Structures are given as C-alpha cells and as structure tokens.
A = this chain, B = another copy of it.
Amino acid sequence: MDSTVLKKIISRKSTRNATTDLDRMGQAARSASRVMALADSSAKNQALTCIAAEIDAHRAEIIAANRIDMDAGEAKGLDSALLDRLLLTQARVDAMIEGLQQVAALPDPVGEVSELKYRPSGIQLGRMRVPLGVVGIIYESRPNVTVDAASLCLKSGNAAILRGGSEALNSNSAIAACIRRGLAAAGLPETAVQVIETANRAAVGALLTMDKYVDVLVPRGGRGLIERVSREARMPVIKHLDGICHVYIDDKADLEKAHQIALNAKTHRYGVCNAMETLLVAEGVAKDVLPRLAEDYRTAGVELRGCARTRVIIPGSLAATEQDWHTEYLAPVLSIRIVADMDAAMDHIASYSSGHTEAIVTEDYSRARRFLAAVDSSSVMVNASTRFADGFEYGLGAEIGISTDKIHARGPVGLEGLTSQKWVVFGDGQIRE
C-alpha cells in the first residue's frame, strides 16, 4: 500500500473518530444547555467563584502544564510573539481569576423581560432574554481565552464547546479540569463547558458541521481561521475580521484635540484591532496638523506612508500604495491621506474600512451628526480615540470578541451578544377570531 493511500485511510479514520467524539460532546452540550438555561444567577456565580478557587489552588499544575507547551513550542521554533501569547505567568493566572470574579459580578442577562404590553386581542406580549444554547468557540494560542470564553458562556446560561490552539493543549487541559471541578462544586453539569482535548486537526472541520448541536460559532484568531470558519460553518458565526480603523481630521477640528486623538489612536497600542491604521486629513488643515504629528509619530517609532500630497508636507514619508489603504498593520505603521472634505473622507471609509471603528474630529455640529449617521461601522465616534471601542470601555464587563458583522451583535460582544430574545405571551384563553 503506498503512503498516500495509507495517509488517506488514516485521515479518514481520524476524521471519523473526531466526529464520533465530537458527536458525543455535542449531545452532552445540548443536554447541559437545557440545565444551564434554567440555572439561577446564584448557581452560575457560585460556579464562577468555584472555578476561580480551583485555578488558584491548582496554579502550580497549570503553570507546569504550560511549561510543557512552552518547551514544545520553543522546540518547534514558534516565533516569539506566539510564545509570548502562549506563556502563563503567576500574574496571568491572577488575571484569569480576577476575570472570573468580574464576570460573577456582572448582572445576569437571562430572563429579563422587556417591552411587556397588552395587544388589542387581550394577550400580553413581551420579549424574554434567553441563552443561545450551545456556543462553539475556536481560538488560537492564548490559554486565558479558555477561562474568558467559559465564564461568559456560563454566565449567559449557555453550554460551551471550546477548541483552543494545539500548541496550548496541555495548558488548556489543566484549565479545563479546574472548570469541570468548579462546575461540579456548584452543582452544575460538568459538560456545560467542554474543551476539545485533542491535537487532531479534523476536530475543527467536524465541529463546523455540527449545526445539530452548536447554535453559534465564535472564531477568535487570525484571518485564515476566521475565513475558514465563515466558509465552512453550517451554523451562524459571530466573527471579527479586520480592524482597519480610520480617524478623519476635519477642517473644523479643534487641532489640539485632533493631535491628541490621532496620536493616541495609533500609538497607545499597536497590535490591537481598534488602533487607527489610516489617518485622513482635510486639505484645509493638513499643513497645520501633519508636521507636528509626523514629529511625534517618528519619536514613537511609527513608519509613515502617505499619499502624494502628504509626502510633500512630510518629507521622507514613504509612498502609500493602494494595498496600504486595505491593510491592517497591527504594527507601528500608519498610512495618511489628504482628502478634499468630509464627503471624500466618508467615500474613502466606505471603500476601505473593515466596518470596525471610525472617528471624526470636528467642532462642526452638522458634520458630526452626518458622520455619525452615514458611516456604516460597528462604532462611530466624534472627538474620541478609536481605542475606546472595547468591551471594558463600553461597560460590557468582558467581551467574547468584537463583531464586524451587521447581524445580531455588532462591535464588542459581551453577555448580551450570547443571548437572544424570544417572544412570550400571557393569555387568559385568547383565541384568534
């Protein structure tokens, strides 16, 4: 038998095994989800507190498991950024515990009934917030996502199936054991949070087809992962693609605010999705704002790539190409374009934005109003840094991701994004005439 045939057979077999295992997990998740949907807030909060206590009590084991992953990662030659994301330190374990306590302190969204009113037929109609059911989450190297994702799903009354990166397998297994013990201690089903503890890559493919058991999928990771999930998933997906965020400095801007916002939006942190990637400047103020900004960007080590007119004002800046306007740098690089006015800025945004976050800096009332209404992104800001587009800054307490989709949840997705609203009807025997 030649090796290609053998590989095919093994691959088919491992796909079949992965499917069987996952099918069992899916069934368990579905039945746990019915218990979780009815669990009261105190049971869910107790589980979160118990999980925190378990992680605290077993931190040595978690860090030892992480050491195995780190050693394997170093041996495999993973790059330093990836290794840094993979690493668990005492401080990072503390942050996980703190995160659990924060989620426990959040109000429980489940069961909230809103807009309750009588209809002419005599029925009383309202909308009740309920869990989605089973949430699948596929993520990459950071093991702390295991705790974050589990805690948000648990608090919102969902069951979760989590699939972390294969390079974090030992870390995630150690954390999963703490989660199971914490759930059991609070009298909730251990299968309410299940971690796929196999390096078998077929598991992801199998998970994407399990629309029978999984109500929604949340991919968290690089573009490759997100695109694969969008293409293959048979269930709805809450996804976050790119963050190509823009700041537009209007010719009616307060130039000091403009300077601070443009600087903060780029340099506060580079590797984050809500960082500005393209600065648009009205031609009327370009000469006033760009030289000082360029100086501060250079001091911060930001590489500047400008349109032809920008390069006249900022000598030594590189030429921005068409590709630059489409790029999420996630790095100390900024593209700059001088535009005629707000309409030209909005046209640029409509063409190149990923729909994440855009800001205008202006003191003009009517322009601010129009920009807010017309720009079609998940967050639209006036006179504030794009860096505010974040679950914590928005008061959601925590976020499972930032959605650049328009359906269901948009922007930072917290507990509410993991729920839906069903209609409830209270009657006294009403029938349709």
Contacts and interface: CB of A to CB of B under 8 A. Distances in A.
A13 interface: no
Nearest to A390: B432
A432 B34 contact: no
> A34, A261, A263, A384 — which one has the most chain B CB atoms within 10 A of its CB?
A384
Interface stretch (A189-197, A285-293, A297-305, A420-428): A420-428
A292 B134 CA distance: 42
Interface residues of A, number: 71
Interface of A: 34, 37-38, 111, 117, 119, 121, 123, 125, 128, 130, 132-133, 215-216, 230-231, 234, 236, 238, 254, 256-257, 260-261, 263-265, 268, 350, 359, 370, 372-374, 376-385, 387-389, 393-395, 405-408, 410-412, 420-432
A386 to B, nearest CB: 9
A402 to B, nearest CB: 10
Contacts of A359: 425
Given A119-B393, A238-B407, A380-B423, 13 more contacts: A34-B374, A37-B374, A123-B384, A216-B406, A230-B234, A256-B429, A260-B429, A260-B431, A377-B422, A381-B425, A382-B427, A383-B427, A387-B432
Given A119-B394, A384-B123, A411 B423 contact: yes
15 contacts: A117-B395, A123-B388, A133-B376, A256-B429, A257-B428, A265-B431, A268-B431, A372-B424, A378-B423, A383-B428, A384-B429, A388-B432, A394-B423, A407-B420, A410-B421
A374 B38 contact: yes
B37 A373 contact: yes
Contacts of A388: 121, 123, 425, 427, 430, 432
A393 B117 CA distance: 12
B378 A422 contact: yes
A267 to B, nearest CB: 10
A300 B197 CA distance: 57
Given A132-B407, A381-B427, A423-B379, A125 B387 contact: no
Given A128-B372, A384-B429, A34 B379 contact: no
Given A37-B373, A119-B395, A264-B432, A381 B424 contact: yes
Give the number of copies in the complex.
2
> Which 10 A/B pairs are nearest by Cβ-Cβ distance?
A384-B427, A257-B429, A264-B431, A381-B425, A387-B432, A236-B407, A383-B427, A408-B408, A379-B423, A385-B431
A359 B372 CA distance: 43
Contact of A376 (B37, B268, B421, B430): B37
Contacts of A412: 423
Nearest to A110: B373
A413 to B, nearest CB: 11
Contact of A407 (B119, B374, B408): B408
Contacts of A37: 373-374, 376
Nearest to A263: B431
Nearest to A379: B423
Contacts of A432: 264, 268, 385, 387-388, 393
B420 A383 contact: no
Nearest to A372: B424
**A264, A410, A422 interface centre (most CB from chain B within 10 Å):** A422
Contacts of A384: 123, 425-427, 429-431
Contacts of A429: 254, 256-257, 260-261, 383-384
Contacts of A407: 132, 215-216, 236, 238, 407-408, 420
Nearest to A216: B407
A261 B432 CA distance: 9
Nearest to A33: B376
Given A38-B373, A385-B431, A407-B420, A380 B425 contact: yes
Contacts of A424: 372, 379-381
A111 B426 contact: no
Contacts of A406: 132-133, 215-216, 236, 420
Contacts of A372: 128, 424
